[in-house]
Structure 1
Amino acid sequence: MKKTTLPIFPFTAIVGQEEMKLALELNVIDPKIGGVMIMGDRGTGKSTTIRAIADLLPTIEIVKDDPFNSHPTDLELMSADVLAEYQNDVALATEQIKIPMVDLPLGATEDRVCGTIDIEKALTEGIKAFEPGLLAKANRGILYVDEVNLLDDHLVDILLDSAASGWNTVEREGISIRHPARFVLVGSGNPEEGELRPQLLDRFGMHAEIRTVKDPILRVKIVEERTSFDLNPDVWLDKYATEQTALTDKIISAQNILSDVKLDYNLRVKISEVCSILDVDGLRGDIVTNRASKAYAALNGRDEVTVEDIEKVITLCLRHRLRKDPLETIDSGDKVQQVFEEIFEIEE
């Protein structure tokens, strides 16, 4: 059998960019964190890292041959047809697939993203002939938008709608189709190419900032690793196979214990205090920080969140939610860290 897939650079072989890697891992453990926005200089490995995490993803159980990756028992993750069969006690055949990773290209049309309804078939044969789009394929997976700050406004609105509700609705000529579209939204971009609309930025659970590596020794190491991989990818994949498997097992283990992780009431109050002092709009910042802290504790095999866990994730969860002051010289990440240390009484 010939290999038909291109080799993917191993996630565990990526040097540096720990903030981005952590944000992606936590979103895989708990998709309800709400995705991650990765902003940084061009050529810093954003796309490589995002595609590499997809290779680590565990499998999920879906209803066989269902275009929406419907869950066999969770009603919120079922398409209308599967739900009807489930309610009528029809035995559903299932299969295991890799968690889907779907790329949303900048030039995509609305029909390609949402799906299309075959009006002619609907009128002549009286059936809803629906051709699923990218949102259907991304259900229960990851939807990746490169250069998200350059995305057309109408597509941004569609993403906002689906990310908020978990459903995609397509309406044409009086015919309506609705299907689940719960996905981890991952976006990347270069801030020099334009700012992101505030309402879309707020939808991302976490925000990682990537900077070009300045250390010459580290730069040489990165170049050598990439060159070696390009020359002989199979050897390189074998070299990191053990580490890749170990990280996958760690993520699966974290998913299994996540529901048992506890976050002390006093710590929750302090998280909300930080959000209040930073004047974060709404409660999304509080919710995401709580979730991310639990996911980080689970990643480290613990069932109790510590102050260190919160410190590790709070900047990622809040830096993009602060109101921008054009006269402010301090970095938003430093500001979050400063307030965190005051509230949690961290001594330097």
Structure 2
Amino acid sequence: MSLADIPKPGVRETTNQKHYPPSFIDRIKRYVQHLPLHYGLTYLLLLILLALAFHLIAWQEGWLPAPQFSPVLLLFPTWILIPLAFITYLDTIATEAFKRFSILLNISSEAREQLKYEFTVMPARNVIINSLVWSGIFNIYWFEAFDGIADIYQLGSMSINILYFFGLFSFFIGGNIYYHTFRQLILVHRTVSKVDRFDLFHLEPVYAFSILTSRTGICWIILSTLSVLFGPLDILTFQVFVTLSVQIALALAAFFLPLRVVYLRLTAEKFQQLTSLDLRIKETIARLHESVDHKNYADIEKFSVALTGLATESEILTKIPTLPWRPGLLTGFLSVVVLPLLLFLLQLALAKWLGG
């Protein structure tokens, strides 16, 4: 299969007229997925090849002694290829999550298919606009933040030109992970808001999207960690810190915000059922007292059994969790979130210690 086999913009891939043309990111994604190798391995091999090419040029120009390794040369290849891999991975997770959650939706089959399409395909125009915006941001970074890198590393002219081109390309491609994340999580919020009523005794579908939101957060943590590992921290401490802070905030927001409406709806449903149950308990107790007053021993036994059942129901309802993710998932996620921050602080401490 070649890129020519993939439908061009404007060509409908389905008879559903609501389906907009896929973005160039989605076309790249589909092309790589149809290659013989797994997409993750494909992106990894490309990353290794790009990093090797960068090092060969650096060794040839002499600013990096052969065969010395420089993690800085991995930064731009990482932000070209890893976001593409994560977008592909998260779209796979989104497909499965939507399939499991969709049984709660009271919508037509056409609307269901449209939502499924939107979860995994980005609009072509929006992606182009996003890519151009991030290209502009890169130029600001290059002429402001990266201004002194060439002199400090004593880069050759070829290395400067190549780093500029691939840096620009990395922002043009990699910046779409931001748009992809925001768009997909907004879709999660919109989708869970369509549910008429959540069933406290059928929470399995409710947890479906928590897998997507947590994996999205983890992907951002991995990107943050790689940025800290490969970024020129000795030169761009402030810029790296700001970028890291934004990415960690995005990871936390990805986990918590889209499913907040689910938590509120589950809490309200639980409160409503407990309130209704309390009224029944109150009524049953009143009838029990009435039976005791009239020495109606048959009714006393009946209402006593009813109270036992209602108490059991109250205990069960009280123990039902209202968080929109499985127990233990939050603890595991938060433990992962602190990793890039700790790594950043460790690198700062080492740089200060080694620098005297």
TM category (shorter chain) comes to under 0.3
**TM value normalised by structure 1:** 0.25
**Could you say which structure has the higher helix fraction?**
2
**TM value normalised by structure 2:** 0.24
Structure (1 or 2) with the larger CA radius of gyration: 2
**Could you say which structure has the higher strand fraction?**
1
Larger RCO: 1 or 2 (CA < 8 Å, sep 6+): 1
